[in-house]
Structure 1
Amino acid sequence: MADTSANGAQDAAAAAPQIKMNVLAQFIRDMSFENILAQKGAGGEMQPDVQVQVNLDARKRQQEHQFEVVMKLKIDSKSKGSGDQMFLMELDYGGVFHIENVLEEQIHPFLLIECPRMLFPFVRRIVADVTRDGGFPPLNLETIDFVSLYRNEIARRQAQTVKPGADTAQS
């Protein structure tokens, strides 16, 4: 006897429209790198303490099915021993995407999770090249968990809108 539930699931998956995503363009919107260590004339062996902040921004473009996603990185490196600033890098890296067949309620997480995943390998390479060319060992960024980043941002926004002790009742 055949398993009809598996066939039903396959039929439903075949009937659902396939998500289409194309990267139309990628670009550096803004970038700065400051080798503060060299400006101060300091040298020698230092163990870096690197802090990476990531922000994401997404918006719909005027063209149908087109969206722009920008990943903003701020990378701050200080010496573990003295706390002296070694370098500071800021990078805004964007991508233009053509996206079709994503449900309206799923487009926000799609833009802030899937699109940055597509951009990340290019951002990682830029950061490694710039830090190396700036006089430091290449900084190879660890993989960013965009799902966790998205969930944390949603939780933060919800915590901001619901303030403890606020009286919401109207008289």
Structure 2
Amino acid sequence: MSDETNGTNEAENEQRGGSPIIVNVQYVKDQSFENPNAPQSLLAGNGAPKIDLQVDVQGRPLGDNVAEVQLSFRAEATQGDRTAFIAELVYCGVFTMAPLPADQQRALLLIEGPRLLFPFARQILADMTQQGGFPPLMLQPIDFVDLYRRQLMSAQGDDMAEPQGTA
């Protein structure tokens, strides 16, 4: 028997019974590597750099059940008081999601979207730092559920922090 179905494509089949999220495309939106103190920062004896990593996840709708997820990284490495390197990456994907209530769709997008994009972004950052003359930056897995919860709590805290009228 054939796998073909009456004119439906794979994405439609997955949405009906399978995956609630489909990757349509993924891409580098912005990438930057700075090595401001080279070649001194690359010489032996400087020790392993201390790395400060910032991660941000954003999502925006593009149409009905279609949205872009933007996964942003900024890694700043220092050796003593000098900058060894600054690596920045904005890696994105466009996703189609199953029809769900808006809050569930947002959670799905901002948890599963970055989870699917992360391995590719991690490899790009590792390659970028290695090509800059440093050991590859190997990021540990990120708990995107926790990151999403913290974003929600921060947004709720901002709502609560608005000035209240006095009686």
Q: Same fold (TM over 0.5)?
A: yes
Give the corresponding residue for 1:32.
32
Unaligned runs of 5+ in 1: 1-15
Aligned mates of 2:149, 2:54 — CA distance in 1? 16
Give the partner amino acid of 2:110: L
Give the partner amino acid of 1:155: M
Aligned mates of 2:159, 2:165 — CA distance in 1? 12
Decide which structure has the larger Cα Rg and report it: 1
The Cα of 1:17 is off from its aligned counterpart by 6.2
**Identity level (%):** 35
Aligned mates of 1:52, 1:101 — CA distance in 2? 35
The Cα of 1:65 is off from its aligned counterpart by 2.1
Give the corresponding residue for 2:55.
54
The one-character-per-residue Cα deviations of 1:78-117 (angstroms, maximum 9, x if unpaired) are 12xx231100011110001111133322111111111000
Change (3 A) 1:140 1:100: same
The Cα of 1:150 is off from its aligned counterpart by 1.0
- Choose from 146, 149, 152 the match for 1:148: 146
Give the corresponding residue for 1:21.
21
The Cα of 1:21 is off from its aligned counterpart by 1.7
Change (3 A) 1:37 1:69: same
Give the corresponding residue for 1:134.
132
The Cα of 1:19 is off from its aligned counterpart by 4.7
8 Å CA contact 2:66, 2:96 repeated in 1: yes
Give the partner amino acid of 1:167: Q
Give the partner amino acid of 2:71: M
Count how many residue pairs are aligned between Structure 1 and Structure 2. 150
8 Å CA contact 1:19, 1:101 repeated in 2: no
Tell whether 2:102 aligns with 1:101. Answer: no
In the superposition, the TM-score normalised over structure 1's length comes to: 0.79
SS at match of 2:30: strand
The one-character-per-residue Cα deviations of 1:135-162 (angstroms, maximum 9, x if unpaired) are 0001110111111111111111222221
8 Å CA contact 1:19, 1:102 repeated in 2: no
In the superposition, the TM-score normalised over structure 2's length comes to: 0.81
Structure 1 segments of 4 or more deviating over 6 A?
A: none
Aligned mates of 1:102, 1:52 — CA distance in 2? 33
